[in-house]
Amino acid sequence: MTDSTRARLLVDSQCSLGEGATWCAASGRFWWTDIEGKALWRYDPRDGKSASFPMPERLACFSPCADARFLLLGLASRLAFYEIATGEIETITEVEPDLPTRLNDGRCDREGRFVFGTKHDVEDAQPVGGFYRLNGDLSLERLPLGACAISNSIGFSPDGATMYYCDSPTRQIRVCDYPSFARDRVFVELTDATGVPDGSIVDAQGGLWNAQWGGARVVCYAPDGRESARIDVPTAQPSCVAFGGPDFGTLYVTSARIGLDDRAVQSDTHAGGVFVAMPGVRGVAEAVFAGKA
């Protein structure tokens, strides 16, 4: 195995639950969230400095906006706009207020609409949540993708005509036509002893790169579902991925230390950090949320 297929530590952030890997092309910075730490993180590759910003509640997912002064936040209970310079938060709408759920994974489709899912917020999660889309006019709609326990792996093909998603406990990544949601079917099923599908990103050739929680790896699947590449990550719980850098050739990987006992943390010393790899392929510029312009 070459160094290009091994991830290395970039930021020893020691997040409890690092997630939401996002490259902002407008600012040239990498962003992520520590969900349980209630913090938004930022790394600037130009000076190697990182910083974190407190959130009023758990931040599960987010997206840059067309107006680069703002982020769209997927907080535990609600969607909101966040003004980066001031920290001011403007609530858009609550999500599933009558259910014991919180927001989880989310990513913009190629038209700049924010697609996200929820998570049953208990230890033994059951499929009671769902998948949603926040449109540019700020209307919210539930998508016809069935109930989920822990939404993850939301991503879109480069042409925007295919959507990927999963309910992590099933260990299946699904795929459907988009935006019709027709031909909803299993794309990949994990059958080995370790790892469940977590966050994903799609590269310029249509390969789906998936962080596999508990498996210490990121796996790429070709559009036909065959495994085409694998990156070893030196931590047990990689959680989400994003392509970034000037040429989108750097793969950023977030991770988590939640659920690891003291002995595991002693051996997995960089759990919760951000890792990077150079997989030899490039990503694409992800869409920003069109609703704040």
Strand partners, 243: 251
Please check if 135 is assigned to a binding site.
no
Please check if 104 is assigned to a binding site.
yes
Which DSSP category does 87 fall into? -
Two tokens at 2?
A: 């070459």
3-state SS class at 197 = strand
How far is residue 204's CA from residue 214's CA, in Å, rounded to a whole number? 27
Please check if 90 is assigned to a binding site.
no
3-state secondary structure 111-133: CCCEEEEEEECCCCCCCCECEEE
How many beta carbons lie within 10 A of that of residue 244, not counting itself?
Answer: 26
Catalytic annotation, pick one of 198, 203, 224, 232: 198
Please check if 152 is assigned to a binding site.
yes
How far, CA to CA in Å, does 46 sit from each of 18, 30, 33? 22, 11, 20
Please check if 210 is assigned to a binding site.
no
Known active-site residue 198: yes
Binding site as annotated, residues for substrate: 102, 104
Residues with a catalytic annotation lie at 198
